[in-house]
Amino acid sequence: MLQNETHIEKVQRKFEKKRRLIRVAAGQEKADLVLKNATYLNVFSNEFCHGDIAVAEGLIVGMGNYHGAIEIDAGALIVCPGFIDAHIHLESSLVTPWEFSKAVLPHGTTTVITDPHEITNVMGLQGIDYMMAASANLPVDVHFMLPSCVPATPQDESGATLDYQAIDSYFDHPRVLGLAEMMNYVGIINQERDPVEKILCSQAHHKKIDGHAPGLSGHALNAYISAGVYSDHECFNFQNALEKLQKGQFIMIREGTAAKNLKALLPLLNQQYYSRVMFATDDKHPNDLLYGGHIDYIIKEAISMGVDPIIAIKVASHHAARYFLMNNKGAIAPGYLADFVLIDNFRNFDIKMVIKKGKIVFEEGKQIDFSAPKVPTDLDISARNTMHLNQITSSDLFCDRPLGHLSLIPGELITQNHGMAKGIDVHKDILKVCVFERHHYTGHIGMGYLSGYGLKKGAVATSIAHDSHNIIAVGTNDTDIAAAVNTIKAMSGGITVVLDGKSIASLPLPIAGLISDQPLHQVNRLLEEAKSAARSLGVPKSVDPFMTLSFMSLPVIPTLRVTTKGVFDVESQKYISQ
């Protein structure tokens, strides 16, 4: 009986709320908030309209002439829908979702769609649970795409292996929108069971499937799309993006910290193509968040390159909402969430105020405080206990045989195959690079040689090593490499620069070896200090000492990579040294 009464009360509350919305919309009752004299973007008619915008119960109820309990004169400003990042890995910010939210709210971001595959490769399903708990009830809505490739390839030794059955129940979570970037396009084209089953699983739940297929074209692209992949964020030239768009995919123009594709894909932002385009950042590092911006930065850049402001703003808001079936976001119209960004003009694009569900969450000159979500104790303990490897000694790294030799290409993530090298030669810029398995105490250490990094002495190490996130280190001698790895272990994860057996700069990342529990400004300061330390040891400015290193272990990018098992040739799909 009590349960039945509770249900009746719940239904009655919803009924009364709906009645109030109707009364406010009809002008019979004051709104909670009214933006007076607003100039706002109408994403449906592609024009700027004028009038009051009324809000009640967190929803827009009407435009016209309204009065409210709170009235804000927006006459000198332009009101836009809240901005949406269509694809990001929150872990790339190196801070908690709470800190991330505080950083992006002043930039007008009100919604992000995250793929937690970084932390999931470390913690398995607990990684998804952690990120969901850590992002609950933030003023920035955090939606999820479920990781599709844990591990990314059979060559990876990750913290977990997830098949479709492992993630199936998560599709029912209200914040889950689909299956995240299907990086294993080779597996799809070859009809391998695991990736195909994951696509079928997402489709069974009527959810989206995002893509990741750099350069894929022709019949192979047809096969990939036919399997059910709806989007791609890996386009780096207009021709490939256009082919994918013409074959029905939505294109996410990525402009983040590691990859910047806006300029190359600018021809998509016109009346002919823009309806199937979104903006995404993929990865956003601390310095970029603090001093560069977020989705607002992409809008500014696009407008400065001649893109129609209406197109730029729609791509930054309405299109992602439509693609992900978030039917009450991305527009200023009755029944939509009251997510607003108030800017001065299109030339400066300075954000003066951000409103989320009818509440002011940012106002120029001050940040509105909000509480950090509480992560369950068991998840927090697990996240801070992910360094499962023994102490490393220099003798563990002794090798008297030739190993695979890869070389960096300036400004690129791809590498060159330089065959084999016999040992470290600092004068010839040949360094030792090693990957240490840190999930299961296997003791596996993959070794090779690296050129183009520039280190003249000491060693650098990080537990951010895409996508399996073992520990990767590069150095001029075995003693410093071992000391760097042991420093990472002692910090429960992070980044360090070592000279003569001692750390001279470090950034602890104790949450899964990927995320700090400190404020963004402090994380950025420690990261920049570590970069300076690496440069003092010879790493040139043209090489990001940690980002570059973190991708050297990802065996989906040509030509050579280093895994926990040795040097792997991505093109031949074979190890050249183990």
Domain end, chosen from 332, 362, 392, is at 362
Tokens of 179: 């299956």
Last residue of a domain, one of 76, 102, 129: 76
Q: Decide: 186 and 193 in contact? Cβ < 8 Å.
A: no
- Report pLDDT for 411: 78
Note whether residue 367 is domain-resident. Answer: no
Give me the DSSP letters along 273-306.
Answer: TGGGEEEE-B---HHHHHHT-SHHHHHHHHHHTT
Same domain, 157 and 271: yes
State the DSSP string of 211-279: E--TT--HHHHHHHHHTT--EES---SHHHHHHHHHTT-EEEEEBSSS-B-HHHHGGGSSTTTGGGEEE
315 and 434 in a single domain? The answer is: no
For residues 78 and 89, give the distance between their C-alpha atoms in angstroms, rounded to a whole number: 30
Contacts 24+ apart (CB under 8 A), 343-352: 343/77, 343/78, 343/80, 343/108, 344/76, 344/77, 344/78, 345/78, 346/78, 346/303, 346/309, 349/296, 349/299, 349/300, 349/303, 351/106, 351/107, 351/108, 351/296, 352/77
Domain shared by 428 and 470, yes or no? yes
Whole-angstrom distance, CA of residue 192 vs CA of residue 226: 14
> Are residues 501 and 533 both part of a single domain?
yes
The pLDDT of residue 3? 54
Distance CA 288, CA 50 (A): 35
Do 40 and 156 belong together in one domain? Answer: no
Q: What is the pLDDT of residue 5?
A: 73
What's residue 216's pLDDT?
94
Structural domain boundaries enclosing 33: 2-76
| Domain identity same for 69 and 97 | no
Residues 20 and 68 in one domain: yes
Nearest-CA neighbor of 475 among 484, 463, 462?
484
Question: To which residue do tokens 């030339």 refer?
Answer: 347
Quick one: 102 and 162 in the same domain? yes
375 within domain boundaries: no
* Domain total of the chain: 3
Distance from C-alpha of 530 to C-alpha of 498, rounded to nearest angstrom: 10
Structural domain includes residue 369: no
Token pair, residue 466, equals 């895409």
Question: Is the pTM for the entire model greater than 0.85?
Answer: yes
d(CA 91, CA 131): 9
pLDDT tens for the chain, 578 residues: list them.
Answer: 455 778 888 899 999 999 999 999 999 999 999 999 999 999 999 999 999 999 999 999 999 999 999 999 999 999 999 999 999 999 999 999 999 999 999 999 999 999 999 999 999 999 999 999 999 999 999 999 999 999 988 889 999 999 999 999 999 999 999 999 999 998 999 999 999 999 999 999 999 999 999 899 999 999 999 999 999 999 999 999 999 999 999 999 999 988 899 999 999 999 999 999 999 999 999 999 999 999 999 999 999 999 999 999 999 999 999 999 999 999 999 999 999 999 999 999 999 999 999 999 999 877 778 889 999 999 999 999 999 999 999 999 999 999 999 999 987 888 999 999 999 999 999 999 999 999 999 999 999 999 999 999 999 999 999 999 999 999 999 999 999 999 999 999 999 999 999 999 999 999 999 999 999 999 999 999 999 999 999 999 999 999 999 999 999 888 999 999 999 999 898 999 99
At residue 1, the pLDDT reads 41
